[in-house]
Amino acid sequence: MQHQSKLPNVGTTIFTVMSALANEHKALNLSQGFPNYPSSQKLNDFVSRAMNNGYNQYAPMAGNLDLRLAISNKYQLLYKSTYHTEKEITVTAGATQAIYTIISAFIRQNDEVIIFKPAYDCYEPSVKVNGGTVIPIQLSAPDYKVEWEDVASKITPKTKMIIINSPHNPSGTIWSKDAMLQLQKITKDTNIIVLSDEVYEHIVFDGEQHQSACLFEDLKQRSFITASFGKTFHNTGWKIGYCCAPEHLMSEFRKVHQFNVFSVHHPSQKGIADYMQDAETYLSLNSFFQQKRDLFLSLISESRFKFKPSQGSYFQVLDYTAITDEYDVDFAKRLTKEFGIASIPLSVFNKKGKDDNVLRFCFAKTDETLVKAAEILCKI
Ligand code: PMP
Ligand code: GLN
């Protein structure tokens, strides 16, 4: 039997490759982004309670109502922004499914989608498999600054969507209010949909504010916001997330969502809804992760790696130009095999051939792991 791949150039994700290599060599795994400490006992208990209380059949297609209410309340509390629980919030199987479903609900053959590179790895294949064309805008280390004239010049009548991500994976940079206003300005009076991937919204450092797309009224009207409880509540394996959008967008989203997943794990949704009644569960994340970032950076300050402190997310990018000029994928693999520490090379998220000689390290780890990691990095 013969078939032609729809994604001929797609291999296994770098996260899977590097985690497998870390396991094989028993290396410290600071590559794939997941915590190595337990998720909250209280949250686990709430999920068990939901199971014992009968939340074991299909959740409503849009998600458990208590959870949609908790999400809606959060947008009021943090951004004074209203999302209607019935029509504008849908619970998904992680942000990944939300992103795929948004793209497949709107992208047709030859539609253009602008993506800023380095870009989280699920955006591009999701566009391509739906027949769209990716228009990449390459940004550079260490600031990953957007040139807005460049973005404006890439917008054509075929531009259907722009995907943004702040706090940004992999660079750990955040978008300013001014950047969001620029985006609002260049999309005004167009039919462009914005997909704002905000999975790290609660992990922003040094007193900065997360600039959610919902804070900008015109932007909000054309935006999907995607979020991930895996990132917020330290349980990436549960794969629960959600998206919010105005009704005219969400109604199209649900036409696809009801057939590609229908609904997601019900007891987890109810447990998370109960847990979110206390806003501290998500408001405390900034300081929790800032302490980890600061510990990690203070311990490697004497190493040969150079860095700008991460502004948000739980990733720190380290520049290794003072050590070697090796291709970053080769260097990341060598560090795993020879030094016992795994990271993620950034070039895999870039346009082909762009290598800034930087690696991404995940600091969502116990302090003990961060101390061990720093000891290794200081010897390189
Ligand atoms: N977007 C970004 C930027 C991510 O880092 C991740 C990984 N958590 C996702 C989306 C996917 O999130 P989830 O694990 O909830 O599918
Ligand atoms: N979001 C995680 C990261 O950036 C990886 C998720 C995955 O493995 N698909 O490391």
Residue-wise pLDDT tens digits, 97-134: 999 999 999 999 999 999 999 999 999 999 999 999 99
Looking at residue 146, what is its pLDDT? 97
Average pLDDT over residues 8-31: 95
Q: Identify the band that residue 309 occupies on the pLDDT scale cut at 50, 70 and 90.
A: very high
Q: Is 166 in the pocket of ligand 2 (CB under 6 A)?
A: no
Is 15 a pocket residue for ligand 2 (Cβ < 6 Å)?
A: yes
Query: What's the pLDDT score for residue 372?
Result: 98
The one-letter code for the residue type at 200 is Y
Does the C-beta of 241 come closer than 6 Å to ligand 1? yes
How far away, in angstroms, is 378 Cα from ligand 1 center?
Answer: 30
Mean predicted confidence (pLDDT) in 72-97: 98
pTM: 0.97
| pLDDT value of position 344 | 98
Distance 211 CA to ligand 2 centre (A): 22
Distance 265 CA to ligand 2 centre (A): 20
Q: What percent of the chain has pLDDT over 90?
A: 99
Mean pLDDT of 33-41: 96
Residue whose CA lies nearest to ligand 2 atom number 9: 15
231 CB near ligand 1 (under 6 Å): yes
Q: Is the CB of 94 under 6 A from ligand 1?
A: yes
| pLDDT band of 95, cuts 50, 70, 90 | very high
- Cα Rg of the chain (Å, integer): 20
* Ligand 2 atom closest to residue 96's alpha carbon, by position in its atom list: 9
Domain 14-32+284-377: CATH superfamily, name plus number = Aspartate Aminotransferase, domain 1 (3.90.1150.10)
Fold of 41-278: Aspartate Aminotransferase; domain 2 (3.40.640)
The pLDDT of 236-250, averaged and rounded, is: 98
**Are 316 and 308 within 8 A, CB to CB?**
no
Per the prediction, the chain carries an average pLDDT of 97
CA 129 – CA 119 distance, rounded (Å): 17
DSSP sequence for 198-245 = -TTTT-B-TTPPP--GGGSHHHHHTEEEEEEHHHHTT-GGG--EEEE-
Note if the bond before 142 is cis, omega within 30 degrees: yes
Q: Which ligand is nearest to the CA of 33?
A: 2
Q: Where in the chain is the domain with CATH 3.90.1150.10?
A: 14-32+284-377
Instruction: Give me the pLDDT at residue 118, please.
Output: 98
pLDDT of residue 43: 98
CA 15–ligand 2 middle distance (angstroms): 6
Taking only the tens place, the pLDDT of each residue in 204-235 is 999 999 999 999 999 999 999 999 999 999 99
Q: What is the pLDDT of residues 155-169, one digit of tens each?
A: 999 999 999 999 999
Is 232 close to ligand 1, i.e. is its CB under 6 Å away?
no
Supply the pLDDT for residue 176: 98
Confidence at residue 56, expressed as pLDDT on a 0 to 100 scale: 98
pLDDT at 249: 98
- Find all residues with CB under 8 Å of 332, minimum gap 6, and list them: 18, 31, 342, 343, 344, 345, 359
pLDDT at position 217 is 97
pLDDT at 41: 98
CATH 3.40.640.10 domain range(s) in the chain: 41-278
Query: Which pLDDT value is given to residue 78?
Result: 98
Per-residue pLDDT at 350: 97
